[in-house]
Amino acid sequence: MGKQTYIKVNDLDNVAIAVNAIPAGTEVMDNILANEDIPQGHKIALCDIPKDGKIIRYGIVLGYAINPIKKGDWINENMLQLPTPPSVYEMEFAKNIVTDLPEAPIKTFEGYKNPNGGYAGTRNILGISTTVQCVTGVLNVAVKKMKEKLLPKYPNVDDIVPINHAYGCGVAINAPEAKVPIRTLKNLAKHPNFGGELMVVGLGCEKLTVEMLIDEADINPENVIILQEQKGMGAMIDALMNMADKKLARLNERRRETLPLSDLCIGLQCGGSDAFSGVTANPSAGYAADMLVQAGATVMFSEVTEVRDGVHIIGERCINEEVGRKLAAEMKCYDNYLDNGQVDRSANPTPGNKKGGLSNIVEKAMGSIAKSGSSPIVEVLSPAEIPTKKGLIYAATPASDIVCGPCQLASGITLQVFMTGRGTPYGLAIVPVIKVCSRNDMKDMWQDLIDVNAGPIATGDATIQEIGTELFKKIIDVASGKEEACAEKFELHNDLCIFNPAPIT
């Protein structure tokens, strides 16, 4: 095993993070002794830092010292003053366009081609969309019965998934920002893993009508059930069972075929991050992402709050000014959203992030953007928009795991890679989720929940390229149905929290 005790990312850094807990009095490097116990992942000062002096990690100013800091001191979140965020009006675009990407060792996967010619499916699922939260109880009863009575008849269908959500009524349906949840639900109804089969359940008096959810040509008794039109619970269940049976029979005819990686769309997301995430798990995902893009795949990364402090770096990778201006607009839109709630970006990170060594949102953001690799950014999406280009895409979403996930699903991802340092049993029912942990202790703790361990990078026992290549191959195998991700095996499915910036009435 490696004996590395600290990680210094950039020559400009005046801090390093502890690979393992460092007891007081330990010599960390030449002429630097720990003045106090340094917890794992937390920062140690490599020089004296005066009051208001810069605290630098990743070669970036994380903040300013509230009080003088001595060489060897433990630096935690209570010791930094947050800097001003970079301006979205003064960014440079198309300045750092990298085209020499690592060669993908595999160029194809086994997927389900879709009749609409969009992204291929990685799973074969009957998705049941809903117009309103009021139908959830009845639908859940029906789905339980479907899985018991119908699904065994159709061995080529992987699952039956209800798209339950807390939207549809008691909302300002005509408010300008209502376009976000409506767009999300419309796009979820046609997710690539559903194979073109539409099944919609409505109540009958909700604000989000069936006409707002699906195209007029698809509104017919073959696709839509309105519960208020059924004569009691028994009739509701019978109608749902009969429709599902017909849909399942057609889905059962789907077969995997060898497809180019240009038919694959994956999402990247972080959750329960720590100070190692930005130097192990996220860079590994970035390397895998670069190989996927090199082979023609579409890769999305998200989380506005966790990009905001690195937006100037991301802007330089936008392929032209049009893409860059859309990036700036999404950042400004979210700045205004937070302002309206009388908070700012300092509301992120979480207590768990801080316990894992992340002092503030600047440090978290610099680690977060590492998952995007180095590929050019070809498009920027508003929440839940469908991409029009292939390659690396920035898909604007909130940073919350359970809100980001549904937004990326609505944008068409068919597999998600999820990086974590602290650990979370997050999962999605519609697509497989591959978990990558940032440190060995996390893998040891959750051996059966972590798919790829990036911890050996921190100890010097593996490189970013090695773990990134391992992750790339895992993505291909899981997308092809040759393997199940850990969260998929245990059926760990988070609720879908639909992002709704419009008022609830």
Q: What is the mean pLDDT of each run of 10 residues along the chain (505 residues)?
A: 80 97 93 96 97 97 98 96 93 96 98 92 98 98 98 98 97 96 98 98 98 97 98 98 98 98 98 96 98 98 96 97 97 93 90 94 95 98 98 97 97 98 96 98 97 97 98 98 98 95 92
Residue 117: predicted pLDDT: 84
- Which residues are within 8 A (CB) of 309 and not within 5 positions of it... i.e. 6 or more apart? 85, 86, 345, 361, 362, 365, 366
Confirm whether pTM is higher than 0.75. yes
Sign of CA dihedral 72, 75, 78, 82: positive
> What is the 3-class SS of 13-75, one letter each residue?
CCEEEECCCECCCCEEECCEECCCCECCCCEEECCCECCCCEEEECCEEEEEECCCECCCCEE
> What distance in Å separates the CA atoms of residue 430 and residue 74, rounded to the nearest whole number?
43
- pLDDT score recorded for residue 490: 97
Q: C-alpha angle with apex 438: 455 to 276, nearest 5 degrees?
A: 100
Asked whether 436 and 471 are in contact (CB, 8 A), the reply is: yes
The answer to whether 382 touches 324, Cβ cutoff 8 Å, is no
Q: How many residues does the chain have?
A: 505
Residues with Cβ within 8 Å of residue 139, at least 6 apart in sequence: 128, 130, 162, 164, 201, 240
Strand partners, 433: 416
Radius of gyration, alpha carbons of the chain: 24
In DSSP terms, 395 is beta-bridged to 381
Q: How many helices (H) and strands (E) does the chain have?
A: 14, 22
Predicted confidence at residue 1, as pLDDT, reads 40
Residue 496, token pair as written in the block: 């879908």
- What pLDDT is recorded for position 296? 98
Backbone φ and ψ of 360, nearest 5°: -160, 180
Alpha carbon distance 227, 201 (integer Å): 7
* Residue in this structure with the two tokens 């990407």, named with its chain if needed: 101
Cα distance between residue 436 and residue 361, in whole Å: 21
Spatial distance between the Cα atoms of 187 and 201, rounded to a whole number of angstroms: 16
Handedness of CA 105, 107, 108, 113 (dihedral sign): positive
